Amino acid sequence: MTRMRTVDAIVQILEKEGATEAFGLPGAAINPFYSAMREHGGIRHTLHRHVEGASHAADGYSRATGGIGVCVGTSGPAGTDMITGLYGAAADSIPILCLTGQAPTSVLHKEDFQAVDIESIAKPVTKFASTILEPGLVPGTFAKAFQIMRSARPGPVLLDLPLDVQMAEIEFDIDAYEPLAPDTPAATRIQIEKVLDLLATAERPMLIAGGGVINANASEKLVELAELLDVPVSPTLMGWGSIPDDHRLQAGMVGIQTHTRYGNASFLESDLVIGIGNRWANRHTGDLETYRAGRRFVHIDIEATQIGRVFSPDLGIVSDAGAALELLLTVARERRASLPDWSSWAASCTARKGTLHRKTNFSNIPIKPQRVYQEMNSAFGPETVYVSTIGLSQIAGAQMLHVYGPRRWINAGQAGPLGWTGPAALGVVRGRPDANVVALSGDYDFQFMIEELAVGAQFHLPYIHVVVNNSYLGLIRQSQRGFDMDYHVSLAFENINAPETNGYGVDHVRVAEGLGCKAVRVEDPEELAAGFAEAQRLAEEHRVPVVVEVILERVTNISMGTSLDAVNEFEDVAQSAADAPTALVPLTEVTEQADLEPVGAGS
């Protein structure tokens, strides 16, 4: 045993637990921990401009790598700044560790400077939050924290470290410290047999792949099961990439916002749905009466309280997605000869996928957003890692972009905090330095934490940030249509310092350049390809974030609705192959459009 400060023990614990990527900024109440990081040298730290940004970067790192990002801040407002980051991670089952400094234990009851009860504040948005009041509790509390983060449904933890606890000395031997095994439930053979019994009675089964499949690193097993059974798969927003978009059995995303037309149409034809690692989120299901009508449901999820939370399935199983898929493969191989042949059903879903696309090939000036995603699909390869969070840009992106593998769609899907995209992209670059990282924001999301671009410039974290600028809170403007108003959602103004913005207001190019980055502005759709190519060149040459600002038409309504059979289509959807160059299946391989009319296309 060696006598050392608790902060020195913490740094060694983090290293042994594999949590060696930290994002944050120092302050008086957390400086002892920073001194331990500096002296020990096993943890890489990225200095952020805002603690909320640091928490989103830790989140992005965890999502991109499957590891645990660490966010660090001082006492008081640093902890409260982390709350949005904790909420975003908790909502999507992402483990991050937030460490805060705290006033000394002797003055916590005296309203000392920047002394706030962050444990109580953080508890609703974490799996575990604790102010460690005794130095001897430090090793055990950290071991418990890591176990909790990794057990069952993953999620964030906050540990609060009073200044005197950080400085206290304890006896500690890192060789005697062992990470605690996570508690991971697994399906039994009897349960999986019952899934196969239900499956054997289905004519048009479909698998729904949620984020739990990606968390479990089980995408290959999912694809193997789908191919073994010849059953189509629909990924949720959080499960996007678990089966490549161009795989013949990828049936398209289902939902009332983030969806594909062919995904919704195929789902409405299904008669048995097996959800694996998903939550039945409301943006996925829409109106439950429509969603559930005429089909039975199996729900497999790692968190017991998710089973029956939204609706009662015909069969519910508490299990890690990877464990369930492994056993499903075993039993399905044994019973394959006695199971129905679903190849015709799968082929019909593939056919639908080849025809039901929205028009993207617009040549209008100002640019229509649909053309941006068409050009992004052409400019950025299948290995691209996309990062996005909220707004019409994210919704349209999820409808029209293509994702070809797990952890290549990094998205704060449930919380959707504005400003998340930029700092999360920085965390992705830290975790995946060789990846081609492309962020997607509307102008409002981009402006929320625009100062974080300087972090990318300082630490040479190159990525491309596509900003689709209509100078509007576009999603809120669209939702205000129901109130017959357009109220405080416009960001446009005459910029006296930048008349070239033509009334759109903020000069994003000049701001980005002032923060040490590079930027390109595109106003003609025919110049999008060249703009994206130039951005890639600049990112590679200068090793900094590169902003591509695309000037859009002010108002575009993106397809969405309240029910899977009543999605409003605001643009003409009748099209030739030339109007939908993003189609993933050659049109020669599919049936006629007239045979596969869209459901619920309205105005």
- 403 assigned to some structural domain: yes
**Residue listed under structure tokens 């075993």:** 330
Of 146-160, 360-374, 432-446, 462-476, which gets the smallest average pLDDT? 462-476
Report the C-alpha gap between 116 and 102 in whole angstroms.
Answer: 8
The pLDDT assigned to 586 comes to 33
Last residue of a domain, one of 144, 176, 208: 176
Same domain? 241 vs 167: no
| In a domain? residue 347 | yes
Are residues 166 and 205 located together in one domain of the fold? no
Contact, 286 vs 562, CB < 8 A?
A: yes
Q: Does 579 fall in a domain?
A: no
pLDDT score, position 598: 32
The C-alpha R_g of the chain, in whole angstroms, comes to: 25
Per-residue confidence (pLDDT) for residue 317, from 0 to 100: 98
CATH number of the domain that residue 397 is part of: 3.40.50.970
The answer to whether residues 415 and 545 belong to one domain is yes
Residue 524 and residue 385 in one domain: yes
pLDDT of residue 498: 87
Residue 194 three-state SS: helix
At residue 584, the pLDDT reads 52
Q: Name the residue with tokens 């249509």.
A: 481
Residue 97's nearest CA partner among 50, 62, 45, 121 is 62
Residue 542's pLDDT is what?
98
Q: How far is CA 6 from CA 42, 97, 167, 212, 595, in A?
A: 16, 17, 7, 35, 69
Q: What is the mean pLDDT of residues 587-595?
A: 31
The whole-angstrom separation of Cα 601 and Cα 603 is 7
Check whether 575 has a pLDDT greater than 70.
no
Query: Which pLDDT band, with edges at 50, 70 and 90, does 571 fall under?
Result: low
- Tell me: the pLDDT tens digits for 55-111? 999 999 999 999 999 999 999 999 999 999 999 999 999 999 999 999 999 988 888
160-180 average pLDDT score? 97
Of 79-88, 355-364, 388-397, 484-493, highest mean pLDDT: 79-88
Which residue from 130, 133, 78, 125 is spatially nearest to 101, judged by alpha carbons? 78
pLDDT band at 114 (very low <50, low <70, confident <90, very high): confident
CATH number of residue 232's parent domain:
3.40.50.1220
Asked whether residue 530 falls in the same domain as residue 382, the answer is yes
Which pTM does this prediction carry?
0.93
| 3-class state of residue 441 by DSSP | strand
Residue whose C-alpha is closest to residue 44's, from 63, 73, 77, 18: 18
Q: Give every CB contact of residue 573 below 8 A, 6+ residues apart in sequence.
A: 261, 358, 359, 598, 601
pLDDT of residue 603: 24
Q: Tell whether 598 is covered by a domain.
A: no
Check pLDDT > 60 for residue 41.
Answer: yes
Is pLDDT of 566 > 80?
yes
CA trace torsion 429, 433, 439, 444 (10° rounding): 30
Q: How far is C-alpha 378 from the chain's CA centre?
A: 22
pLDDT tens readout for residues 121-167: 999 999 999 999 999 999 999 999 999 999 999 999 999 999 999 99
Domain boundary among 299, 326, 353: 353
| Domains identified in the chain, total number | 3
| 515-537 tens-digit pLDDT | 999 999 999 999 999 999 999 99
Q: Could you say which of 318, 353, 388 is where a domain stops?
A: 353
pLDDT bracket for residue 486 (50, 70, 90): confident
pLDDT interval class at 572 (50, 70, 90): low
- The verdict on 198 and 342 lying in the same domain is yes
Of 391, 403, 399, 390, give the one whose Cα is nearest residue 370.
399
| Mean pLDDT calculated for residue range 265-288 | 95
Task: Give the pLDDT of residue 111.
Answer: 81
List all residues 6 or more positions away from 485 whose beta carbon is below 8 Å from its beta carbon: none
Q: Looking at the structure, tell me whether residues 347 and 443 fall in a common domain.
A: no
111 and 149 inside one domain: yes
In the predicted model, is pLDDT for residue 592 greater than 50?
no
> How confident is the model at residue 157, as a pLDDT?
98
Give per-residue pLDDT as tens, 339-349: 999 999 999 99
> Residues 204-239: pLDDT tens digits?
999 999 999 999 999 999 999 999 999 999 999 999
Residues 317 and 347 in one domain: yes
Position 284 in a domain: yes
Q: Assess whether 317 and 406 both reside in one domain.
A: no
Both tokens of residue 538? 């600049």
Residue 28 shares a structural domain with residue 160: yes
Residue 600 within any structural domain of the chain: no
Average pLDDT, the chain: 92
Q: 459 and 344: one domain?
A: no
Query: What pLDDT, on a 0 to 100 scale, did the predictor assign at position 587?
Result: 30
Distance CA 538, CA 546 (A): 7
Q: What is the percent of the chain with per-residue pLDDT over 90, rounded to a whole number?
A: 81
Residue 453 domain-assigned (yes or no): yes
Residue 343 falls inside a structural domain: yes
In the prediction, which pLDDT does 577 show? 45
489 pLDDT tier (thresholds 50, 70, 90): confident
Looking at the DSSP bridge assignments, the partners of residue 296 are: 272
Residue span of the structural domain in which 38 resides: 2-176
Backbone angles phi, psi at 159, to 5 degrees: -120, 125
